[in-house]
Amino acid sequence: MAFLKELEQFFEKHIEGFFRRRFAAGIQPVEIGKKIVRAMEQNLQISVSKTYAPNHYAVCLNPEDLRRMQSLDISLTDELAQYIIKKAKQQGLNLAGSPVVELREDVALTLGELRIETAFMQEKEALPPTEADYAGTQVFEGVNAARDLPAKVRHKAIPCAALRVREGVDAGTAWELGNNRIYIGRRQTNEIPLNDMNASRVHAYIALEDGRHVIHDAKSLNGTYVNGERIVRKTLCCGDCIKVGNSTLVYEVM
């Protein structure tokens, strides 16, 4: 019960209005979080000196349950990925890479049923971790975690880049980008927390894809703009201006 309470509090803190949305039937988001952590604990790989947890989780759902989960105002998968990081850190586990949670449809499942499939994903290849490959690896958290990776684990060279606030209440503030997913918005646990009341709690995120930083809108209320154009996903180039709420951030490559 303590675990469920902790999970509920996590969602309540990170998802605005979460508990105002009622699911009359079918799977509950808290149940997904509970099953994911159980799957993580049941699929550990132990090396000589470290214990590794899976970093890829496929949540298989009945089509109706899948539709309901996708109707949430923010990305449930991103919030679950953040919770995996938190639980792995609490239990002293190492992740093989940035955690990824995806929702999948399975017509064989009845309403309220779910199945979790786990995998160890090294960049884009499904490779189990080894002591040699991951020596010195730490739990992936924060914008500078990429520096802790040994060179041979890195899929591609990481561009030396940063986001700098040019306009807005946080003007002059800058954050270095690495190879981990970077969340932008009003939520104070984001890697880039903004004090802009017109930004969503989780407004957008930046991910490293094929050696390039790509910005994704996170179903924000006011939208994410790059060079004046509203985007869902866009590969960033040096000098691009990103509009989040009333803030303008510039992508700089150094």
Please write the tens of the pLDDT for every residue from 210-226: 889 999 999 888 899 99
| 8 against 181, higher pLDDT | 181
How far apart CA 107 and CA 174 sit, in angstroms, is 46
Is the pLDDT at 11 greater than 80? The verdict is no
The pLDDT assigned to 125 comes to 38
Answer for the pair 202, 74: CB distance below 8 angstroms, yes or no.
yes
Is the model's pLDDT at 122 over the cut of 80?
Answer: no
pLDDT digits (tens, 9 = 90+) for 39-97: 999 999 887 788 989 989 999 999 999 988 887 645 678 888 888 998 999 999 998 77
Q: Is the pTM of this model over 0.75?
A: no
Contact 143/178 with Cβ under 8 angstroms? yes
Determine phi and psi for 235, rounding to 5 degrees: -75, 130
79-83 long-range contacts (CB < 8 A, ≥24 apart) are 79/10, 79/11, 79/14, 79/15, 79/202, 80/32, 80/33, 80/36, 81/181, 82/14, 82/183, 82/189, 83/7, 83/10, 83/33, 83/36, 83/37
What is the reported pLDDT for 7? 62
* 138-159 pLDDT per residue, tens: 333 333 333 343 443 334 455 6
Residues 6+ apart with CB under 8 A from 91: 41
Q: What is residue 31's predicted lDDT score, i.e. its pLDDT? A: 87
Element (H, E) at 76: helix 76-90
In tens, the pLDDT along 98-118 reads: 888 888 999 999 998 999 999
